[in-house]
């Protein structure tokens, strides 16, 4: 029995390939199942190409008008869900072109003059990524706006600042939220940078070497909103670094959202109790009635995994390819679509959670003072008031922390006599720096935690994002 017949008769999976090699080839070769997402970009590119062909006299004005009308009708068909997608026609480019010829005849067959699917697909993916960047940029700005609003509201709401997830120094919730605004702002910068670099039109590179037809690549580039045409036809059809850059910028943004999601998971844990989320962004348990699980945050964190995978997939597809086009590059699309769609969802969920969360100010304040979090303030006081070298001050403070821990009190709970037993020159002025409020208020260095600074930064961001 040959392998094919054997496969066809395998009751577990043979049925799917029962039609033999032709069916297998069609299935592995076809991209219409996913690249139909680019139909708008494909039509936009064809309209610009046809207008240029007519302008330089390669096709007649009548043909161009017929193409324009035909493509508009096809767009309407797709929009209405009435378009019959064909796997036999492989991809979005051939599906639309075949339908065009079906509708308008001869003129439809002239559209592909001076271009190839190689420059066409390079164009469509660029246009799709550019559109996706514009949508994501607006969404990131929205998350930043939500964070800046909450930061303004909580510029003076104290909370513990952590390193190693151990209490380190008191900070404010506003300061903490603005840290994410800074990260997301850099993500927007990376996307904008990617957009700037990708904004060159590959259309007219044709199969790989350009064309002998007197096409005007500057004209199509301009019509499609590009800064100009790409400068090397081989590079134009062979390169997808813009897609890899896009996937990195998105993966980085998702990683930032994932870190925030992790905080939400920690903060909503009842042992922390720092914030509460409403039913809008939590789910109950089918068996444990008390449960309120931060599923949206968990999924933002979880989905970040696939976005890192998509970046790896893209780079791996490219790394073994000589110039120029190989069918491997058809694998560029699904990672791009998947990342763009999931990042959009994660951004929407994060904006929702930021607006939904209810900070628990008393819990945050109690936690801010726990764990001898003002020990650094005590050491700094010894340096400032007693002119002690910082290393000695650190040592004295360590002894005082150990003493307080032994007595079961916090630093402010030690008596002056107890403190003086460690360092006789300590005066009662020291108690002024041991409170959480004094600690945060003192950190006035630029970019520091002081509520006045945080309020100013939040106001600045809100104004920039308005």
Q: By CB under 6 A, name the binding residues for ligand ARG.
A: 31, 35, 91, 117-118, 121, 325, 327, 329-330
Q: Residue 121: CB partners within 8 Å, gap ≥ 6?
A: 35, 91, 93, 329, 330
Catalytic one among 11, 164, 286, 445?
Answer: 164
Largest CA distance in the chain: 101
Nearest approach, Cβ of residue 95 and ligand ARG (Å):
10
For residue 169, the cross-strand partners are 161
d(CA 466, CA 462): 6
Q: Residue 365: CB partners within 8 Å, gap ≥ 6?
A: 157, 158, 159, 436
Compare residues 121 and 346 and give the one whose CB is closer to ligand ARG.
Answer: 121
Nearest approach, Cβ of residue 77 and ligand ARG (Å):
21
Q: Which residues in 294-371 belong to E strands, given as ranges?
A: 358-359
- Contact between 111 and 49 under an 8 Å Cβ cutoff? The reply is yes
Catalytic one among 46, 256, 285, 286?
Answer: 285
Compare residues 31 and 374 and give the one whose CB is closer to ligand ARG.
Answer: 31
Nearest approach, Cβ of residue 65 and ligand ARG (Å):
27
Tell me phi and psi for residue 172, to 5 degrees. -125, 155
Give kind and range of the element (H or E) at residue 393: helix 390-407
Compare residues 93 and 301 and give the one whose CB is closer to ligand ARG.
Answer: 93
The answer to whether 285 is a known catalytic residue is: yes
- Contact between 333 and 265 under an 8 Å Cβ cutoff? The reply is no
How far lies 179's CA from each of 260, 443, 447, in Å?
Answer: 10, 16, 10
The answer to whether 176 is a known catalytic residue is: no
- Contact between 179 and 147 under an 8 Å Cβ cutoff? The reply is no
Compare residues 237 and 414 and give the one whose CB is closer to ligand ARG.
Answer: 237
Q: Which residue has the tokens 């995994």?
A: 305
Nearest approach, Cβ of residue 70 and ligand ARG (Å):
21
For the purposes of burial, counting CB atoms within 10 Å of the CB of 362, is it exposed (0-12), middle (13-18) or buried (19 or more)? exposed
Compare residues 327 and 387 and give the one whose CB is closer to ligand ARG.
Answer: 327
Nearest approach, Cβ of residue 90 and ligand ARG (Å):
6
Nearest approach, Cβ of residue 327 and ligand ARG (Å):
6
Active-site residues, by number, are: 164, 285
């Amino acid at each position: 029995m040959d392998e094919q017949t054997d496969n066809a008769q395998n009751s577990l999976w043979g049925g799917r390939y029962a039609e033999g090699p032709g069916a297998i080839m069609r299935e592995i070769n076809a991209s219409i199942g996913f690249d139909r997402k680019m139909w708008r970009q494909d039509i936009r590119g064809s309209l610009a190409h046809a207008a240029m062909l007519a302008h330089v006299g390669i096709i007649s004005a009548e043909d161009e008008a017929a193409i324009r009308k035909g493509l508009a009708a096809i767009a309407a068909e797709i929009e209405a869900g009435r378009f019959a997608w064909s796997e036999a026609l492989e991809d979005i480019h051939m599906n639309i072109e075949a339908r065009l010829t079906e509708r308008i005849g001869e003129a439809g067959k002239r559209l592909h003059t001076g271009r190839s699917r190689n420059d066409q697909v390079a164009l469509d993916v660029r246009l799709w990524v550019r559109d996706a960047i514009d949508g994501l940029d607006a969404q990131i700005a929205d998350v930043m706006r939500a964070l800046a609003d909450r930061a303004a509201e909580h510029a003076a709401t104290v909370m513990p600042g952590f390193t190693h997830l151990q209490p380190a120094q008191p900070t404010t919730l506003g300061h903490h939220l603005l840290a994410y605004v800074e990260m997301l702002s850099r993500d927007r910068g990376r996307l904008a940078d990617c957009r700037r670099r990708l904004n060159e039109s590959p259309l007219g590179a044709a199969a790989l070497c350009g064309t002998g037809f007197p096409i005007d690549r500057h004209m199509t580039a301009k019509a499609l909103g590009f800064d100009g045409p790409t400068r090397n036809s081989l590079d134009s059809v062979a390169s997808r670094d813009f897609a890899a850059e896009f996937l990195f910028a998105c993966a980085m943004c998702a990683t930032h959202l994932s870190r925030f999601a992790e905080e939400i998971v920690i903060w909503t844990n009842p042992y922390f109790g720092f914030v509460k989320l409403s039913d809008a962004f939590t789910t109950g348990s089918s068996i444990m009635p008390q449960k309120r699980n931060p599923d949206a945050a968990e999924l933002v964190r979880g989905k970040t995994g696939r976005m890192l995978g998509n970046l790896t997939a893209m780079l791996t597809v490219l790394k073994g390819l000589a110039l120029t086009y190989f069918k491997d590059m058809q694998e560029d699309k699904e990672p791009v679509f998947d990342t763009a769609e999931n990042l959009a969802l994660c951004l929407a969920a994060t904006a929702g959670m930021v607006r939904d969360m209810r900070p628990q100010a008393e819990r945050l304040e109690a936690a801010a003072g726990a764990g001898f979090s003002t020990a650094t303030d005590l050491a700094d006081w010894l340096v400032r008031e007693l002119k002690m070298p910082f290393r000695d001050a650190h040592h004295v403070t360590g002894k005082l922390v150990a003493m307080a821990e032994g007595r079961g009190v916090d630093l402010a709970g030690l008596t002056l006599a107890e403190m003086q037993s460690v360092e006789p020159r300590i005066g009662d002025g020291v108690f002024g720096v041991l409170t959480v409020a004094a600690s945060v208020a003192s950190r006035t260095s630029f970019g520091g935690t002081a509520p006045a600074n945080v309020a100013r930064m939040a106001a600045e961001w809100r104004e920039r994002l308005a």
